Amino acid sequence: MGGSNKNLIFVYGTLKRNHRNHFLLEDLISTNDAVYIGQRTTWLQYPLVTGLYGIPYLINKSGSGQKIRGELYSVSKRGLVRLDELEGIKVNHYERLPIEVIEEDEEEESNGVVLAEAYFAHCGFGERLWEKKGKCGMCEFGENDGVLYVSPKDRPMFSSVLDEIETFVSSSNVDY
């Protein structure tokens, strides 16, 4: 993978090892379009919640929530296109934004901070989803959370996750 060609991507949800969409990263690794770098934690705190169909969302509101544990990958331009597609960048489901991550044991020193990118809930609904979930976030999308994830092929026919999120975050009943 050429040096200029690599993008550091921090994954925190279904793309992690032992989760439902990791097969995509495994594909990319097999074609040398991705390399696993290691476990990382966000330098700042962020809200991490699950929405409809058990889909995890990192919300771009640093200072709220907790420091998030995830995995760091180096991904080629070609690999990034595949990931952007999965994450629904074009349809405003997620947006890929900068994030600072550290190795677990470097809590105290800021010199270990690395700039990567992560897929955040799109700003069109992210903050409202955080409020809707009672501002209660996780520090990690774990195996038990992963079990609740529903793959696109298993969702109701003609369902549009974005329309359903909009309905969910705009409804008045609070649902924790």
Span 40-67, pLDDT tens digits: 999 999 999 999 999 999 999 999 999 9
Taking only the tens place, the pLDDT of each residue in 70-98 is 999 999 999 999 999 999 999 999 999 99
CA distance 48 to 27: 26
pLDDT band per the 50, 70, 90 thresholds, residue 3: very low
Q: Is the pLDDT of residue 175 over 80?
A: no
Q: Estimate the crossing angle of helix 77-86 against helix 22-30, to 10 degrees.
A: 160
Of 3.10.490.10, 3.40.50.300, 3.20.20.10, 3.40.462.20, the CATH number of 7-170 is 3.10.490.10
Instruction: Please identify every residue annotated as catalytic.
Output: 87
- For the chain, which residues make up each domain, given as ranges? 7-170
